[in-house]
């Protein structure tokens, strides 16, 4: 069966290939109305939505049926933020209670996902019990699940019954040789199967599951972990294949590997990709399909907007004491969701009616960092930002590239030495950026940023991110600041 | 003859549903195997199921109290390499 191709434009003549190139709302603009309807309030599937809506994961699924070299099943650390890590395992009943407590207290929470800490489909009873109860008790919450794919073909029928219209499959390779370097074993047909043989079965199951979901009309996002020297050269092909089979979004994430995590890759010294390597691969894949760049690789029990975690406010002890009137909460949520959607639609319509009138430029692209807490505007103080969104401004417009955390994954020892202050660290995080846009900034960081060759800018507080990024870009171009290459600029600095 | 689970168990639930004898049960601080029920899967499977899905090296012992999955056998991390990494972290 010929599947619809969502983004089949060849590498464009403008020099900016398809994918989420161009302004961020393009990411949704080229989707069909039906898909857009499904993802427009899903923060993990729509870049636009992630500025407004929140998500949560409930940790009901501890068991796993495979081992990945980037995962350590012993891990539980409250200070860690990465997939597979949780603090409190929940029963399905506790998960439902927690979900309703969060929905009542964070009305912009639209999505409940089950993502581990093991594989949700290796815990079918706990996972489906949770979905069954939630689809009855909290019908206004979208349900989604992520999986390694091994048990997926057997679960597709059950998934479609629970009205789950988003599934994420982690596909790191389609080649068993490469798979054997990522997955040391799988549990399959009552045996532990190691090496290439196991990887081959896993790959077959993933691909079969993907095809079955697409045939059922369930939206599929594919996650891939970029592992330099292992699958980095291969992921563009993975991207092409999963797109052909009907996945609508591809999310290439950087490997997280530190020795203290106790994972195979961490202990063996396998490095993760640099921001530049990741971006290069995402750009290479985006010629083939819709890429996702706003993933925050969150914990299997994360709560809140992407990039924040409010899990501490909803521990079992705390939710036990909450008295939730879900009917009332649902009414309130509906009003708030409608207001947010109206705001998003208005913005979209405003942009369509007022296309950025860019002067004809032939200047080089510039990376800019933006401090925001959501709503698509610059509304965060430089010193309060836990992360920066990175945009690339060029004569074609502004495009969202990635986010960079200002804190390291682990607050313990790290390789940069203790003498480095938090400010110096944050400035190092912004490497490659020439401008940082924020609502306000103190005198000291201002000076240090300037010394590092990054121009702080607080003139666009509360303004739309993309419009501000382009306004600053045009200003730079007109002032002749973009006539020299970045390398020349560095040399003279 | 029975397998047993020791304290390195992380309570991941993976073994409980795959046991053909319903010998495994949730307990505090970790899962346990009822030695009266455990058959080591004889007659049902060629290999003990709990030890074939368990992700933690050393967490399941055979009847002679020998780990079914010795260090390095599941993660692929050579034990000396793991010791080296942990020593480096401790030294910090």
Q: What is A85-132 written as a DSSP string?
A: --S----HHHHHHHHHHHHHHSTTEEEEEE--BS-GGGSHHHHHHHHH
Q: Which of these ranges, A296-300, A347-351, A383-387, has the smallest mean pLDDT?
A: A296-300
- The answer as to CATH 3.40.120.10 being correct for domain A360-492 is no
Contact B52 A190 (CB under 8 A): yes
Render pLDDT for A437-451 as a digit per residue (tens, 0 to 9).
Answer: 999 998 888 999 999
- From chain B, the residues in CB contact with A412 under 8 A are 92
Nearest CA in chain B to A262: B82
Helix (H, G, I), strand (E, B) or coil at A301: coil
Give B48→chain A minimum CA distance, Å: 9
- From chain B, the residues in CB contact with A263 under 8 A are 75
Please report, for chain A, the start and end positions of each structural domain, with discontinuous segments joined by +: 26-319, 360-492
| CB-closest option in A123, A126, A259 to B85 | A259
User: Mean pLDDT in chain A?
Assistant: 83
- From chain A, the residues in CB contact with B88 under 8 A are 259
pLDDT at A403: 83
Q: How many CB atoms lie within 10 A of CB A293?
A: 24
B91 vs A: CB within 8 A: no
- From chain A, the residues in CB contact with B11 under 8 A are 62, 89
- In sequence order, what are the residues at sequence separation of 6 or more whose Cβ sits closer than 8 angstroms to the Cβ of residue A150? A65, A66, A119, A121, A122, A186, A188, A201, A202, A205, A206
- From chain B, the residues in CB contact with A418 under 8 A are none
Nearest CA in chain B to A122: B14
Q: Which of these ranges, A125-139, A176-190, A357-371, A462-476, has the smallest mean pLDDT?
A: A357-371
B49 vs A: CB within 8 A: yes
- From chain A, the residues in CB contact with B74 under 8 A are 67, 184-185
- Percent of chain A at pLDDT > 70 equals 84
State the fold for domain A26-319. TIM Barrel (3.20.20)
Q: Which of these ranges, A21-35, A110-124, A398-412, has the smallest mean pLDDT?
A: A21-35
Dihedral sign from CA coordinates of A245, A251, A255, A256? negative
B21 vs A: CB within 8 A: no
Q: At what angle do helices A235-244 and A275-286 cross, to 10 degrees?
A: 30
Render pLDDT for A22-42 as a digit per residue (tens, 0 to 9).
Answer: 333 444 455 677 777 778 777
Please say if the pLDDT value at position A2 is more than 50. Answer: no
| Higher-confidence position of A376 and A409 | A376
What is the dihedral angle through the alpha carbons of A421, A426, A431, A434, rounded to the nearest 10 degrees? -120
In this prediction, residues A143-157 reach a mean pLDDT of 96
The span from the CA of A135 to the CA of B83, in Å, is 48
One fold for A26-319 and A360-492: no
pLDDT band at A414 (very low <50, low <70, confident <90, very high): very low
pLDDT band at B33 (very low <50, low <70, confident <90, very high): very high
What is the dihedral angle through the alpha carbons of A401, A402, A403, A409, rounded to the nearest 10 degrees? -160
Contact residues of A toward B, CB < 8 A = 62-65, 67, 69, 72-74, 89, 118, 122-123, 125-126, 184-185, 187, 190-192, 259-260, 262-264, 266-268, 412-413
pLDDT at A47: 76
Six-digit token string for A53: 């809506």
CATH of domain B1-92: 3.30.70.20
Q: What is the pTM of this model?
A: 0.80
pLDDT at A4: 40
Helix (H, G, I), strand (E, B) or coil at A447: helix
Six-digit token string for A403: 């986010």
What is the dihedral angle through the alpha carbons of A99, A101, A107, A108, rounded to the nearest 10 degrees? -30
pLDDT at A30: 54
In this prediction, residues B40-46 reach a mean pLDDT of 95
Helix runs in A216-260, H state only: 235-244
| Higher-confidence position of A299 and B82 | B82
Please report, for chain B, the start and end positions of each structural domain, with discontinuous segments joined by +: 1-92
Interface ipTM: 0.95
């Amino acid at each position: 069966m010929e599947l619809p191709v969502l983004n089949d434009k060849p590498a464009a003549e403008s020099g900016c290939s398809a994918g989420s190139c161009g302004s961020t709302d393009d990411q949704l603009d080229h989707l069909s109305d039906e898909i857009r309807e499904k993802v427009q309030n899903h923060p993990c599937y729509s870049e636009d939505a992630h500025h407004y809506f929140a998500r949560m994961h409930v940790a009901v699924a501890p068991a796993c049926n495979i081992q990945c070299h980037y995962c350590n099943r012993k891990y539980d650390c409250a200070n860690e933020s990465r997939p597979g890590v949780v603090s409190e395992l929940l029963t399905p009943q506790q998960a439902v209670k927690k979900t309703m407590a969060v929905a009542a207290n964070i009305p912009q929470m639209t999505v409940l996902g089950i993502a581990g800490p093991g594989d949700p489909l290796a815990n079918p009873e706990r996972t489906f019990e949770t979905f069954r109860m939630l689809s009855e008790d909290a019908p206004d919450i979208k349900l989604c699940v992520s999986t390694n794919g091994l048990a997926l073909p057997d679960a597709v029928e059950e998934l479609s019954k629970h009205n789950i219209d988003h599934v994420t499959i982690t596909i790191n390779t389609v080649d068993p040789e490469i798979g054997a370097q990522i997955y040391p074993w799988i549990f399959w047909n009552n045996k532990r199967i190691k090496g290439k043989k196991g990887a081959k079965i896993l790959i077959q199951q993933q691909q079969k599951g993907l095809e079955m979901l697409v045939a059922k009309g369930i939206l599929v996002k594919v996650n891939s972990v970029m592992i330099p020297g292992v699958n980095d050269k291969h992921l563009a092909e993975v991207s092409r294949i999963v797109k052909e089979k009907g996945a609508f979004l591809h999310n290439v994430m950087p490997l997280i590997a530190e020795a203290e995590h106790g994972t195979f890759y961490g202990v063996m010294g396998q490095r993760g990709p640099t921001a530049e390597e990741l971006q290069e691969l995402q750009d290479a894949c985006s010629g083939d399909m819709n890429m996702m760049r706003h993933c925050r690789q969150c914990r299997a029990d994360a709560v809140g907007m992407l990039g924040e975690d409010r899990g501490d406010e909803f521990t079992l002890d705390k939710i036990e004491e909450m008295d939730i009137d879900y009917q009332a909460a649902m009414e309130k949520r509906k009003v708030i969701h409608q207001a947010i959607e109206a705001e998003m639609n208005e913005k979209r319509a405003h942009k369509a009616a007022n296309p950025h009138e860019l002067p004809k430029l032939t200047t080089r692209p510039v990376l800019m960092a933006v401090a925001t807490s959501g709503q698509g505007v610059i509304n965060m103080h430089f010193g309060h930002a836990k992360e920066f969104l990175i945009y690339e401004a060029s004569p074609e417009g502004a495009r969202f590239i990635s986010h960079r955390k200002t804190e390291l994954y682990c607050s313990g020892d790290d390789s940069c030495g203790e003498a480095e202050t938090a400010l110096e660290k944050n400035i190092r995080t912004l490497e490659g950026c020439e401008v940082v846009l924020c609502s306000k900034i103190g005198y000291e960081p201002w000076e240090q940023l300037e010394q590092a060759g990054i121009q702080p800018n607080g003139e666009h507080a509360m303004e739309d991110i993309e419009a501000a990024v382009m306004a600053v870009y045009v200003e730079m171009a007109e002032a002749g600041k973009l006539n020299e290459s970045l390398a020349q600029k560095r040399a003279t600095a | 003859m029975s397998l047993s689970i020791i304290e390195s168990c992380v309570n991941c639930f993976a073994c409980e549903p795959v046991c053909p004898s319903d010998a495994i049960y949730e307990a505090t601080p970790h899962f346990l195997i009822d030695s009266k029920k455990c058959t080591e899967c004889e007659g049902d499977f060629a290999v003990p199921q709990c030890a074939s899905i368990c992700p933690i090296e050393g967490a399941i012992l055979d009847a002679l109290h020998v780990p079914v999955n010795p260090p390095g056998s599941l993660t692929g991390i050579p034990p000396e390499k793991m010791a080296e990494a942990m020593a480096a972290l401790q030294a910090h």
